[in-house]
Protein backbone atom coordinates (compact mmCIF):
# COMPACT_ATOMS: atom_id res chain seq x y z
CA UNK A 1 0.00 0.00 0.00
CA UNK A 2 1.42 3.40 -0.99
CA UNK A 3 2.22 5.78 1.80
CA UNK A 4 1.21 9.41 1.66
CA UNK A 5 4.02 11.92 1.35
CA UNK A 6 4.29 13.98 4.49
CA UNK A 7 3.81 17.69 3.86
CA UNK A 8 6.53 19.87 5.35
CA UNK A 9 5.06 22.60 7.53
CA UNK A 10 6.66 26.01 7.49
CA UNK A 11 8.32 26.75 10.80
CA UNK A 12 6.47 29.20 13.00
CA UNK A 13 8.14 32.49 13.82
CA UNK A 14 7.08 32.04 17.43
CA UNK A 15 10.00 29.68 17.96
CA UNK A 16 12.44 32.48 17.24
CA UNK A 17 11.09 35.95 17.90
CA UNK A 18 9.96 36.76 21.44
CA UNK A 19 6.52 38.25 22.12
CA UNK A 20 6.15 41.94 22.82
CA UNK A 21 5.38 43.53 26.14
CA UNK A 22 4.79 47.11 27.13
CA UNK A 23 7.78 48.94 28.61
CA UNK A 24 7.43 49.80 32.26
CA UNK A 25 10.34 52.08 33.03
CA UNK A 26 13.23 53.51 31.07
CA UNK A 27 16.80 52.21 31.25
CA UNK A 28 19.95 53.74 29.80
CA UNK A 29 20.95 53.19 26.17
CA UNK A 30 24.11 51.36 27.24
CA UNK A 31 22.17 49.04 29.56
CA UNK A 32 19.65 48.43 26.79
CA UNK A 33 22.36 47.38 24.32
CA UNK A 34 24.10 45.19 26.90
CA UNK A 35 20.88 43.38 27.81
CA UNK A 36 19.94 42.79 24.17
CA UNK A 37 23.40 41.45 23.27
CA UNK A 38 23.45 39.12 26.29
CA UNK A 39 20.00 37.78 25.48
CA UNK A 40 20.91 37.19 21.83
CA UNK A 41 24.08 35.32 22.84
CA UNK A 42 22.20 33.02 25.22
CA UNK A 43 19.43 32.39 22.68
CA UNK A 44 21.98 31.46 20.00
CA UNK A 45 23.72 29.10 22.42
CA UNK A 46 20.39 27.51 23.31
CA UNK A 47 19.44 27.10 19.63
CA UNK A 48 22.78 25.41 18.93
CA UNK A 49 22.34 23.08 21.89
CA UNK A 50 18.90 22.06 20.63
CA UNK A 51 20.25 21.54 17.11
CA UNK A 52 23.02 19.34 18.56
CA UNK A 53 20.49 17.33 20.55
CA UNK A 54 21.96 18.47 23.88
CA UNK A 55 18.70 18.89 25.80
CA UNK A 56 20.43 19.25 29.17
CA UNK A 57 22.53 22.19 27.99
CA UNK A 58 19.51 23.78 26.29
CA UNK A 59 17.51 23.51 29.51
CA UNK A 60 20.35 25.03 31.53
CA UNK A 61 20.59 27.94 29.10
CA UNK A 62 16.82 28.44 29.23
CA UNK A 63 17.07 28.73 33.01
CA UNK A 64 19.92 31.23 32.65
CA UNK A 65 17.79 33.33 30.29
CA UNK A 66 14.92 33.35 32.79
CA UNK A 67 17.33 34.19 35.61
CA UNK A 68 18.38 37.31 33.70
CA UNK A 69 14.78 38.43 33.29
CA UNK A 70 13.63 36.27 30.41
CA UNK A 71 11.70 37.48 27.40
CA UNK A 72 9.89 40.21 29.28
CA UNK A 73 13.04 42.07 30.26
CA UNK A 74 14.54 41.52 26.82
CA UNK A 75 11.45 42.82 25.06
CA UNK A 76 11.31 45.85 27.32
CA UNK A 77 14.86 46.70 26.23
CA UNK A 78 14.03 45.98 22.61
CA UNK A 79 11.02 48.30 22.66
CA UNK A 80 13.00 51.06 24.34
CA UNK A 81 15.73 50.67 21.74
CA UNK A 82 13.16 51.24 18.99
CA UNK A 83 11.44 54.18 20.67
CA UNK A 84 11.43 57.58 18.98
CA UNK A 85 13.59 59.23 21.62
CA UNK A 86 16.29 56.66 20.82
CA UNK A 87 15.92 57.29 17.08
CA UNK A 88 14.48 53.83 16.60
CA UNK A 89 11.49 54.24 14.26
CA UNK A 90 12.85 52.54 11.13
CA UNK A 91 9.73 53.50 9.16
CA UNK A 92 10.97 57.10 9.11
CA UNK A 93 13.65 55.94 6.68
CA UNK A 94 11.01 54.33 4.48
CA UNK A 95 8.89 57.48 4.43
CA UNK A 96 11.95 59.56 3.50
CA UNK A 97 12.54 57.23 0.55
CA UNK A 98 8.91 57.45 -0.53
CA UNK A 99 8.89 61.26 -0.34
CA UNK A 100 9.21 61.75 -4.16
CA UNK A 101 6.04 59.70 -4.78
CA UNK A 102 3.91 60.85 -1.83
CA UNK A 103 1.91 63.22 -4.08
CA UNK A 104 1.27 60.36 -6.51
CA UNK A 105 0.09 58.16 -3.61
CA UNK A 106 -2.73 60.61 -2.89
CA UNK A 107 -4.57 59.73 -6.11
CA UNK A 108 -5.24 56.04 -5.31
CA UNK A 109 -6.18 57.17 -1.80
CA UNK A 110 -8.80 59.57 -3.19
CA UNK A 111 -10.12 56.80 -5.47
CA UNK A 112 -10.70 54.50 -2.53
CA UNK A 113 -7.74 52.24 -3.32
CA UNK A 114 -4.89 53.44 -1.07
CA UNK A 115 -1.43 51.92 -1.11
CA UNK A 116 -1.65 48.90 1.20
CA UNK A 117 1.15 48.03 3.64
CA UNK A 118 1.62 44.95 5.80
CA UNK A 119 3.87 45.56 8.80
CA UNK A 120 5.16 42.26 10.18
CA UNK A 121 6.39 42.44 13.77
CA UNK A 122 4.61 45.73 14.41
CA UNK A 123 5.36 47.39 17.74
CA UNK A 124 3.45 50.65 17.40
CA UNK A 125 0.44 52.23 15.72
CA UNK A 126 2.03 55.68 15.88
CA UNK A 127 5.16 55.26 13.76
CA UNK A 128 5.92 57.36 10.68
CA UNK A 129 4.10 55.04 8.26
CA UNK A 130 0.97 55.04 10.38
CA UNK A 131 1.01 58.82 10.74
CA UNK A 132 1.39 59.44 7.00
CA UNK A 133 -2.34 58.85 6.38
CA UNK A 134 -1.41 57.77 2.86
CA UNK A 135 -1.10 54.07 3.61
CA UNK A 136 -3.75 51.53 4.47
CA UNK A 137 -1.94 49.76 7.29
CA UNK A 138 -2.30 46.19 8.46
CA UNK A 139 -0.11 45.37 11.45
CA UNK A 140 0.65 41.93 12.84
CA UNK A 141 2.84 40.62 15.63
CA UNK A 142 3.32 37.29 17.36
CA UNK A 143 1.90 38.58 20.63
CA UNK A 144 0.15 41.90 20.16
CA UNK A 145 -0.08 44.11 23.21
CA UNK A 146 -2.28 46.84 21.77
CA UNK A 147 -5.28 47.71 19.64
CA UNK A 148 -4.52 48.06 15.95
CA UNK A 149 -1.97 45.22 15.92
CA UNK A 150 -3.36 41.79 15.06
CA UNK A 151 -1.88 38.81 16.87
CA UNK A 152 -0.66 36.59 14.05
CA UNK A 153 2.38 34.63 12.88
CA UNK A 154 3.21 35.66 9.32
CA UNK A 155 4.31 32.12 8.48
CA UNK A 156 0.81 30.90 9.38
CA UNK A 157 -1.13 33.77 7.79
CA UNK A 158 -3.62 32.52 5.17
CA UNK A 159 -2.43 33.14 1.62
CA UNK A 160 -4.23 35.87 -0.38
CA UNK A 161 -7.24 34.61 -2.32
CA UNK A 162 -7.63 37.70 -4.50
CA UNK A 163 -5.54 40.65 -5.66
CA UNK A 164 -7.39 42.79 -3.12
CA UNK A 165 -5.87 40.66 -0.35
CA UNK A 166 -2.32 41.45 -1.51
CA UNK A 167 -0.09 44.34 -0.42
CA UNK A 168 1.85 47.02 -2.23
CA UNK A 169 4.59 47.04 0.39
CA UNK A 170 5.58 44.66 3.18
CA UNK A 171 7.78 45.67 6.09
CA UNK A 172 10.17 43.22 7.77
CA UNK A 173 11.92 45.51 10.22
CA UNK A 174 14.11 43.50 12.61
CA UNK A 175 12.04 40.39 11.92
CA UNK A 176 14.06 38.18 9.54
CA UNK A 177 16.94 38.00 12.03
CA UNK A 178 14.59 36.41 14.60
CA UNK A 179 13.66 33.46 12.38
CA UNK A 180 15.36 30.58 14.22
CA UNK A 181 17.24 28.92 11.34
CA UNK A 182 18.74 29.76 7.97
CA UNK A 183 16.24 27.68 5.96
CA UNK A 184 13.36 29.37 7.79
CA UNK A 185 14.72 32.77 6.77
CA UNK A 186 14.73 31.66 3.14
CA UNK A 187 11.18 30.34 3.48
CA UNK A 188 10.03 33.69 4.86
CA UNK A 189 11.46 35.58 1.88
CA UNK A 190 9.82 33.11 -0.52
CA UNK A 191 6.50 33.55 1.28
CA UNK A 192 6.72 37.34 0.90
CA UNK A 193 6.29 36.88 -2.86
CA UNK A 194 2.84 35.38 -2.37
CA UNK A 195 1.60 38.49 -0.53
CA UNK A 196 2.88 41.22 -2.86
CA UNK A 197 0.55 42.68 -5.45
CA UNK A 198 1.05 41.85 -9.14
CA UNK A 199 -1.20 44.65 -10.44
CA UNK A 200 0.00 47.26 -12.94
CA UNK A 201 0.99 50.50 -11.20
CA UNK A 202 0.75 54.07 -12.51
CA UNK A 203 4.04 55.22 -14.01
CA UNK A 204 4.74 57.54 -11.05
CA UNK A 205 4.63 54.59 -8.63
CA UNK A 206 6.40 51.92 -10.66
CA UNK A 207 9.84 52.73 -9.23
CA UNK A 208 8.84 51.79 -5.69
CA UNK A 209 5.98 49.25 -5.83
CA UNK A 210 5.41 46.45 -5.09
CA UNK A 211 8.24 46.24 -2.59
CA UNK A 212 9.77 44.80 0.55
CA UNK A 213 11.18 47.11 3.24
CA UNK A 214 13.87 45.05 4.95
CA UNK A 215 15.74 46.15 8.07
CA UNK A 216 18.42 44.04 9.75
CA UNK A 217 21.04 44.57 12.44
CA UNK A 218 24.08 45.77 10.50
CA UNK A 219 26.33 42.89 11.67
CA UNK A 220 24.01 40.43 9.87
CA UNK A 221 25.47 41.81 6.64
CA UNK A 222 28.75 43.43 7.67
CA UNK A 223 30.13 40.83 10.09
CA UNK A 224 28.46 37.51 9.34
CA UNK A 225 30.39 34.35 8.71
CA UNK A 226 27.85 33.31 6.04
CA UNK A 227 26.39 36.53 4.66
CA UNK A 228 27.60 39.74 3.04
CA UNK A 229 25.90 42.33 0.86
CA UNK A 230 26.79 40.71 -2.50
CA UNK A 231 25.27 37.40 -1.34
CA UNK A 232 22.15 39.12 0.02
CA UNK A 233 21.79 40.94 -3.31
CA UNK A 234 22.18 37.67 -5.22
CA UNK A 235 19.50 35.99 -3.09
CA UNK A 236 17.04 38.85 -3.50
CA UNK A 237 17.64 39.10 -7.25
CA UNK A 238 17.11 35.35 -7.60
CA UNK A 239 13.70 35.87 -5.97
CA UNK A 240 12.86 38.58 -8.49
CA UNK A 241 13.73 41.73 -6.51
CA UNK A 242 15.85 44.73 -7.40
CA UNK A 243 17.29 47.11 -4.79
CA UNK A 244 15.98 50.65 -5.25
CA UNK A 245 17.17 52.17 -1.95
CA UNK A 246 19.60 51.26 0.80
CA UNK A 247 21.12 52.80 3.90
CA UNK A 248 23.84 51.33 6.10
CA UNK A 249 24.51 52.69 9.59
CA UNK A 250 26.70 51.34 12.36
CA UNK A 251 23.71 49.58 13.93
CA UNK A 252 21.23 48.82 11.15
CA UNK A 253 20.98 48.18 7.42
CA UNK A 254 17.87 49.33 5.55
CA UNK A 255 16.81 48.15 2.09
CA UNK A 256 13.87 48.77 -0.20
CA UNK A 257 13.56 45.88 -2.65
CA UNK A 258 11.11 46.27 -5.55
CA UNK A 259 9.67 43.05 -6.91
CA UNK A 260 10.10 43.10 -10.69
CA UNK A 261 8.79 39.60 -11.35
CA UNK A 262 8.29 36.88 -8.73
CA UNK A 263 10.52 33.91 -9.42
CA UNK A 264 9.16 30.65 -10.74
CA UNK A 265 12.30 28.78 -9.71
CA UNK A 266 12.07 25.72 -7.51
CA UNK A 267 15.80 25.43 -6.91
CA UNK A 268 18.22 28.19 -5.91
CA UNK A 269 21.41 26.66 -4.56
CA UNK A 270 22.09 29.22 -1.82
CA UNK A 271 23.74 27.26 0.96
CA UNK A 272 25.21 28.08 4.35
CA UNK A 273 28.77 28.56 3.19
CA UNK A 274 31.56 30.47 4.92
CA UNK A 275 32.36 33.83 3.38
CA UNK A 276 34.39 35.35 6.21
CA UNK A 277 36.48 33.51 8.77
CA UNK A 278 37.26 34.57 12.32
CA UNK A 279 35.99 33.98 15.84
CA UNK A 280 34.33 37.39 16.05
CA UNK A 281 31.86 36.62 13.23
CA UNK A 282 28.16 35.96 13.82
CA UNK A 283 26.23 33.12 12.18
CA UNK A 284 23.44 34.98 10.36
CA UNK A 285 22.60 33.05 7.21
CA UNK A 286 19.84 32.60 4.62
CA UNK A 287 19.43 29.26 2.89
CA UNK A 288 17.43 28.81 -0.32
CA UNK A 289 17.89 25.26 -1.57
Span 85-108, pLDDT tens digits:
434 689 999 999 999 999 999 888
Q: Say yes or no to pLDDT of 16 above 70.
A: no
Q: Say yes or no to pLDDT of 139 above 50.
A: yes
Span 240-278, pLDDT tens digits:
999 999 999 989 999 999 999 887 777 899 999 999 999
Span 56-92, pLDDT tens digits:
877 887 777 777 665 555 545 555 555 544 346 899 9
Instruction: Please report the pLDDT score of residue 265 as a whole number.
Output: 79
- SS3 string, the chain, reads CCCCCCCCCCCCHHHCCCCCCCCCCCCCHHHHHHHHHHHHHHHHHHHHHHHCCCHHHHHHHHHHHHHCCHHHHHHHHHHHHCCHHHCCCCHHHHHHHHHHHHHHHHHHHHCCCCEEEEEECCCCCCCHHHHCCCEEEEEEECCCCCCCCEECCHHHCCCCCCHHHCECEEEEECCHHHCCCHHHHHHHHHHHHHHECCCCCCHHHCCCCCEEEEEEECHHHHCECCCCHHHHHHHHHHHCEEEEEEEECCCEEEEEEEECCCCCCCCCCECCCCCCCCCCCECCCCCEC
Q: Are 113 and 103 in contact (CB under 8 A)?
A: no
pLDDT, averaged across the chain: 83
Instruction: Please report the pLDDT score of residue 108 as a whole number.
Output: 83
Instruction: Please report the pLDDT score of residue 37 as a whole number.
Output: 64
Q: Span 32-47, mean pLDDT?
A: 66
What is the pTM for the complete model shown?
0.79
Span 170-198, pLDDT tens digits:
999 999 998 989 999 999 999 999 999 99
Span 106-119, pLDDT tens digits:
888 878 889 999 99
Amino acid sequence: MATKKKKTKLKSLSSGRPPTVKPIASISSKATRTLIRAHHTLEKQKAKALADGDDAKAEALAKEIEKKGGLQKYQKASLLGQSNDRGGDSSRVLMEWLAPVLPAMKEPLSNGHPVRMLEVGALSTTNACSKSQLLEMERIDLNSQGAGIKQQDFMERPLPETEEDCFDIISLSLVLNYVPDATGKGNMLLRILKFLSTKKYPEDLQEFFPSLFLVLPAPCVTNSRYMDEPKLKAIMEALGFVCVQKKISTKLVYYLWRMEKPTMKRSFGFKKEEIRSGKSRNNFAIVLK
